[in-house]
């Protein structure tokens, strides 16, 4: 299942409407060209003062299985279950201090923009990408000696779409279900807090 467009209230660009978070992966390796393309897309994300605080740690099973397995081990058990065939994991991190040593309050926001650029590029290439917060951050920090001034935010699994029927029944049902979001009136306000847009 590679196509699951959002049932939007008004038309939006296919790249955004078509991007979703699948759980069915193939174990087919990713090409270096595809990996470079998604990282290049992230590189060109906007950031406050052009600080570019995001840092991505890439774990490619086909080129470094030992590191991949160490990263995979930091996923929560639920995420390990459906990510077993995924060929690539990408840790999303961000430098929390500016070049002047001050707290960069936009660091996570900027890293999120870069991660979104990465997953949109993956979708444009016909790849599956799923962003996850279900990571043991302490274990990841320890396993990869992440500096204290770097925040570990999420993990993205990346690969080719797999067969939905190979998922367990509960995840199979989720994979096939209609995508949902809060109504626009609950997330966008007009001129004042909670004032209808």
Domain locations in the chain as residue ranges: 14-164
Residue labelled with tokens 């997953």: 119
Mean pLDDT over each residue of the chain, to the nearest integer? 97
pLDDT band (50, 70, 90) for residue 41: very high
> Does residue 2 carry a pLDDT above 90?
no
Task: Determine the Cα–Cα distance for residues 132 and 82; give it in Å rounded to an integer.
Answer: 12
Query: CA separation (Å) from 1 to 12, 20, 175?
Result: 21, 11, 8
Q: Return the closest-CA partner of residue 151 out of 135, 171, 165.
A: 135
C-alpha count within 13 angstroms, C-beta hemisphere, residue 67: 14
| Partners of 75 in beta bridges | 135
Structure tokens at 18: 């078509």
pTM as predicted: 0.96
Task: Determine the Cα–Cα distance for residues 164 and 58; give it in Å rounded to an integer.
Answer: 25
Question: Could you tell me what percent of the chain has a pLDDT over 70?
Answer: 99
Task: Determine the Cα–Cα distance for residues 151 and 163; give it in Å rounded to an integer.
Answer: 34
What is the pLDDT at residue 196? 86
CATH fold of the domain at 14-164 = NADH Oxidase (3.40.109)
Task: Determine the Cα–Cα distance for residues 173 and 169; give it in Å rounded to an integer.
Answer: 6
Rounded to 5 degrees, φ, ψ at 138 are -60, -45
> Does residue 55 carry a pLDDT above 80?
yes
- pLDDT tens for 120-173 read 999 999 999 999 999 999 999 999 999 999 999 999 999 999 999 999 999 999
């Amino acid at each position: 299942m590679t196509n699951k467009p959002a049932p939007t209230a008004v038309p939006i660009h296919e790249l955004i409407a078509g991007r979703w978070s699948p759980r069915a992966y193939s174990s087919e390796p990713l090409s270096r060209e595809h990996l470079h393309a998604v990282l290049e897309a992230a590189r060109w994300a906007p950031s406050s003062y052009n600080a570019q605080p995001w840092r991505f740690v890439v774990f490619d099973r086909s080129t470094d299985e030992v590191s991949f397995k160490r990263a995979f081990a930091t996923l929560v058990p639920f995420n390990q279950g459906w990510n077993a065939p995924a060929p690539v994991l990408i840790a999303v991190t961000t430098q929390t201090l500016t070049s002047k040593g001050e707290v960069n309050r936009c660091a996570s926001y900027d890293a999120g923009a870069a991660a979104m650029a990465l997953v949109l590029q993956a979708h444009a290439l016909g790849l599956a990408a799923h962003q996850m917060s279900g990571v043991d951050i302490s274990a990841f920090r320890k396993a990869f000696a992440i500096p204290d001034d770097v925040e570990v935010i999420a993990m993205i699994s990346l690969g080719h779409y797999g067969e939905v029927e190979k998922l367990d029944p509960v995840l199979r049902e989720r994979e096939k279900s209609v995508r949902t979001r809060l109504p626009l009136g609950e997330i966008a306000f007009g001129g004042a807090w909670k004032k209808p847009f």
